[in-house]
């Protein structure tokens, strides 16, 4: 089986985390990201890291797979950290060359940023690895429902989102076909300067756009034929079920938060 | 016999087009019959299908579906009576999974969840796709997607099913499977089927054939009568069914063959008798 995960793709295994309600997981992920910004010491940071490690273990997705998911972003992280190390000032000066210098505060800042980057990306990977994109969209739909009172067309937005998600593989497939068609006519996508390479993408993008518009039109006709009316209410086939384990996860989340603030307040 | 769909002197012109795509078309589609509509590309076949479902409204003339005039006010009820399977299997798949796609029409009609489940199950069972209920569209073949599209229509319990070149993008096996399915459905329940097609096998299954050319009906009648006219079929540029093609080839070589319609089996039988 091909276990390689791209950043943000779903890993279909059975685990307690996979079975959780997407609303709970979404809430947990967002809340965790907020909490990360409250971590201000070794104690608090390690406490949150421990929480993340527990979630990763419970997801039954191997650490190797998480690492593969992180790897494409490694360069961004390295660059940001290096930038912090070399260009922030304050505290004791260790090394200095032109405008670059390594200082005590710079190192501390870099460490904090490295930590935040790693845990936030990993936490969102835990969410996307254990929840199919469509379920995430369902969860979002639920969170957005109160916006209906502000006349935000929530139903249309979520239908749009789920159709967009459903068409990603179809359009990727088509992009592949068009690329091959152009290559069969002698186009070489891997040669030339950066400008030339970008220019080579034009004959791929134009047919792709034209076809996508045609698809959209066909789809709109098909939807209308099946009785879709954006202004009328609709019932929902896919339902979310809040269960005991979701409530339990919520309690754990409250506990993690309480303990975090206790450590932060010096009470633990 | 009661007519499921009637068109009376229908004219239609696309905006910015210089000619009428349909010009004075009057047709009747009897209930429970399978009618094939054939003709060149641009002869107005697909426009006809869209007019029947109210996706387009005629410039002049009247369309009725199950005695209901197709007008803006009746649109919801018309969509309930008519289901269309379109040509491209990918561009009509709305849901993220098979069951979701079948549910789409039911959701639009505000069918409650409890009823939705059983109707989806029934519809998927009718097209033999129960096992793939939670499959995603990328995992399905073209033929399977078209079967899902048919299930989506069956779940809505319409009177009329229109196939707008629904089998043209499928491989021969997929096409045969879809056609077998529709034949089975027609015998089990009294659906009125209108199929727009270039495919000789699909025409041969129909009870009646309507030939469109230049926006007008140039011939209609029993399948056997219309398909016997090989010159007409060649004129409108559609495929000639195998039995008929063989008959014509024999006639061209100076062999006397009765001037009537032959299916493939009938042709085989006739040749065996001659030997």
Contact B103 A163 (CB under 8 A): no
Per-residue pLDDT tens digits for B115-153: 999 999 999 998 889 999 988 888 899 999 999 999 999
Per-residue pLDDT tens digits for A126-135: 998 898 887 8
The residue in chain A having the minimum alpha-carbon distance to the alpha carbon of residue B93 is A219
- Whether the CA torsion A226, A231, A234, A238 is positive or negative: it is positive
- At A58, the pLDDT band (50, 70, 90 cuts) reads very high
User: What distance in Å separates the CA atoms of residue B258 and residue A258, rounded to the nearest whole number?
Assistant: 93
pLDDT at B171: 87
Residue of B82, B96, B112 with shortest CB distance to A162? B96
Q: Which residues contact A211 (CB under 8 A, 6 or more apart)?
A: A174
Average pLDDT over residues B192-206: 90
Q: What is the nearest CA distance from A66 to chain B, expressed in angstroms?
A: 25
Residue pair A39/A45 in contact (Cβ under 8 Å)? The answer is yes
Q: Which residues contact B116 (CB under 8 A, 6 or more apart)?
A: A235, A237, B103, B106, B107
pLDDT at A8: 64
Per-residue pLDDT tens digits for B45-92: 999 999 999 999 999 999 999 989 999 899 889 999 999 999 999 999
Across the strands, what pairs with B193?
Answer: B34, B161
Interface test with B, best of A158, A159, A237 (most B CBs within 10 A): A237
Q: What is the nearest CA distance from A172 to chain B, expressed in angstroms?
A: 11
H helix or E strand, kind and range, residue B162: strand B160-164
DSSP string, B207-234: SEEEEEETTEEEEEEEHHHHHT-HHHHH
Length of chain A: 268
- At A263, the pLDDT band (50, 70, 90 cuts) reads very high
Contact A234 B108 (CB under 8 A): yes
With a pLDDT cut of 70, the percent of chain A lying above it is 97
A37 versus B245: the higher-pLDDT residue is A37
Contacts of B107 in chain A (CB under 8 A): 234-237
Mean confidence (pLDDT) of chain B: 89
Per-residue pLDDT tens digits for B222-237: 988 888 888 888 888 8
Poorest-pLDDT segment among A97-101, A113-117, A201-205, B12-16: A97-101
Count other C-beta atoms under 10 Å from residue B73's C-beta: 8
Chain-centre distance for alpha carbon B115: 28
Poorest-pLDDT segment among A14-23, A179-188, B72-81, B259-268: B259-268
Contact A237 B109 (CB under 8 A): no
Asked if A134 has any chain B CB less than 8 Å from its own CB, the reply is yes
Of B176, B177, B210, the closest CA to residue B193 belongs to B210
Contacts of B112 in chain A (CB under 8 A): 235
A5: pLDDT strictly greater than 70: no
Count other C-beta atoms under 10 Å from residue B65's C-beta: 26
Interface test with A, best of B47, B52, B84, B104 (most A CBs within 10 A): B104
User: What distance in Å separates the CA atoms of residue A138 and residue B36, rounded to the nearest whole number?
Assistant: 42
Cα A93 to Cα A88, A99, B21, distances in angstroms: 11, 13, 82
Go through the domains of chain B in sequence order and give each one's CATH number. Answer: 3-223 (3.40.50.300)
Residue pair B213/B26 in contact (Cβ under 8 Å)? The answer is no
pLDDT at B117: 92
User: What distance in Å separates the CA atoms of residue A245 and residue B86, rounded to the nearest whole number?
Assistant: 44
User: What distance in Å separates the CA atoms of residue A46 and residue A35, rounded to the nearest whole number?
Assistant: 12
- Whether the CA torsion A218, A132, B134, B80 is positive or negative: it is negative
Average pLDDT over residues B193-203: 90
Per-residue pLDDT tens digits for A221-238: 999 999 898 888 888 888
pLDDT at B209: 93
Q: What is the nearest CA distance from A14 to chain B, expressed in angstroms?
A: 16
Contact B138 A223 (CB under 8 A): no
B19: pLDDT strictly greater than 90: no
ipTM of the complex: 0.86
Average pLDDT over residues A120-126: 91
Q: What is the nearest CA distance from A27 to chain B, expressed in angstroms?
A: 23
- At A30, the pLDDT band (50, 70, 90 cuts) reads very high
Asked if A215 has any chain B CB less than 8 Å from its own CB, the reply is yes
H helix or E strand, kind and range, residue B12: strand B3-12
Contacts of B142 in chain A (CB under 8 A): none
Contact B79 A225 (CB under 8 A): yes
Mean confidence (pLDDT) of chain A: 87
pLDDT at B240: 82
pLDDT at A4: 45
Q: What is the nearest CA distance from B90 to chain A, expressed in angstroms?
A: 8
A3: pLDDT strictly greater than 80: no
Q: Which residues contact B133 (CB under 8 A, 6 or more apart)?
A: B97, B98, B99, B120, B124
pLDDT at A7: 56
Q: What is the nearest CA distance from A227 to chain B, expressed in angstroms?
A: 6
A208 versus B264: the higher-pLDDT residue is A208
């Amino acid at each position: 089986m091909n276990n390689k995960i791209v950043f943000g793709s779903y890993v279909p295994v059975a685990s307690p985390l996979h079975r959780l309600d997407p609303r709970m997981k979404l809430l947990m992920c967002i809340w965790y990201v907020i909490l990360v910004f409250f971590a201000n010491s070794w104690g608090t940071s390690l406490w949150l890291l421990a929480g993340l490690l527990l979630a990763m273990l419970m997801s039954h997705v191997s650490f190797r797979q998480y690492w593969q998911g992180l790897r494409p972003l490694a360069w961004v992280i390295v660059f940001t950290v290096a930038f912090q190390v070399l260009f922030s000032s304050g505290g004791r000066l260790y090394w200095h060359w032109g405008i670059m210098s390594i200082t005590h505060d710079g190192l501390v800042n870099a460490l904090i940023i490295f930590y935040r980057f790693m845990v936030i990306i990993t936490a969102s990977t835990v969410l996307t690895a254990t929840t199919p994109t469509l379920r995430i969209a369902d969860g979002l739909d639920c969170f957005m429902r109160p916006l209906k009172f502000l006349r935000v067309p929530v139903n249309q937005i979520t239908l749009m989102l789920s159709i967009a998600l459903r068409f990603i593989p179809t359009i990727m497939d088509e992009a592949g076909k068009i690329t091959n068609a152009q290559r069969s006519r002698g186009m070489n996508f891997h040669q030339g300067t950066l400008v030339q390479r970008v220019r080579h993408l034009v004959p791929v993008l134009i047919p792709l756009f034209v076809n996508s518009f045609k698809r959209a039109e066909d789809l709109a006709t098909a939807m209308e034929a099946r009785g879709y009316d954006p202004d009328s209410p609709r019932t929902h086939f896919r339902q979310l079920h809040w269960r005991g384990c979701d409530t339990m996860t919520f309690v754990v989340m409250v506990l993690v938060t309480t303990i975090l603030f206790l450590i932060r307040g010096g009470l633990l | 016999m009661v007519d499921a769909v009637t068109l009376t002197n229908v004219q239609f012109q696309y905006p910015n087009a210089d000619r009428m795509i349909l010009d004075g078309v009057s047709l009747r589609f009897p209930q429970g019959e399978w009618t094939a509509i054939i003709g060149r590309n641009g002869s107005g076949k697909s426009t006809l299908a869209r007019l029947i479902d109210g996706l387009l409204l005629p410039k002049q003339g009247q369309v009725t579906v199950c005695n209901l005039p197709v007008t803006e006010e009746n649109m919801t009820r018309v969509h309930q009576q008519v289901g269309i399977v379109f040509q491209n299997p990918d561009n009509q798949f709305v849901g993220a999974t098979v069951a979701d796609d079948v549910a789409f029409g039911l959701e639009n009609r505000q069918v409650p969840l409890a009823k939705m489940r059983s109707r989806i199950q029934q519809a998927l069972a009718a097209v033999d796709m129960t096992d793939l209920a939670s499959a995603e569209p990328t995992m399905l073949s073209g033929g399977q997607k078209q079967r899902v599209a048919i299930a989506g229509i069956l779940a809505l319990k319409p009177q009329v099913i229109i196939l707008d070149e629904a089998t043209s993008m499928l491989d021969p096996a997929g096409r045969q499977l879809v056609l077998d399915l529709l034949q089975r459905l027609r015998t089990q329940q009294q659906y009125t089927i209108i199929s727009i097609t270039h495919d000789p096998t699909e025409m041969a299954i129909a009870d009646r054939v309507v030939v469109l050319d230049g926006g007008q009906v140039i011939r209609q009648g029993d399948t056997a009568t219309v398909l016997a006219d090989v010159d007409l079929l060649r004129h409108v540029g559609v495929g000639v069914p195998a039995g008929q093609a063989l008959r014509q080839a024999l006639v061209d070589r100076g062999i006397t063959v009765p001037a009537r319609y032959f299916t493939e089996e009938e042709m085989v039988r006739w040749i065996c008798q001659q030997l």
